[in-house]
Amino acid sequence: MLNEYEIVAWSLWLDTIALEDDDYTVEEKTLFTAFYVKISLNNDSSLQEIFEAFFNHYMPNFIQKFNNWISVNSNSFMPHPVEMNQKYIQLSRPYNPKMEQDIVEYNYIVDDILQISPPYQLPAAPNNLNEEAKELHRKEIEGTNK
């Protein structure tokens, strides 16, 4: 339930903290950081109450663990606008696992092909023509498609 801005801030924070330690699992720390980003970047107290109720229902003692963890780690979350912009640009790029320099964007190529390709259906003859004129129209269309 994070928007793009929150995902960028969360990603920056995940890059800087160690996810593995003895006190909390990776899943807990991931949820703690996401929840903290959500509540710290929003001024809506009802939103926080909703998430707290959800977490307490599905994970007993989550809020207590969260408060203990955040009392130690909240000062490590200070996203800088320039860093956030750079991270946003990085996350917005097309997926490129091999770090290739030139990525071919096939969506544009397919769009171009569809623009220049002829339609698949033959145009229908106007309804006001008699049968003989419709037959001539059909033969004319078939002759131009060969």
pTM: 0.59
What is the extent of the structural domain holding 59?
1-146
Residues 121, 127, 130, 133, CA torsion sign: negative
Rounded Cα distance between 34 and 43, Å, is 16
φ, ψ at 129 (rounded to 5°): -90, 150
What would the two tokens of residue 93 be?
Answer: 């790029």
Looking at the structure of the chain, the number of domains it has is 1
Contact 10, 37 (CB under 8 A): yes
For every one of its 146 residues, what pLDDT tens digit does the chain have, with 9 covering 90 and above? 788 888 888 888 888 877 666 688 888 888 888 888 888 888 887 888 888 888 888 888 888 888 888 888 777 777 888 988 898 888 887 766 666 666 667 787 888 888 887 766 655 655 666 777 777 777 777 765 55
Rounded Cα distance between 68 and 100, Å, is 43
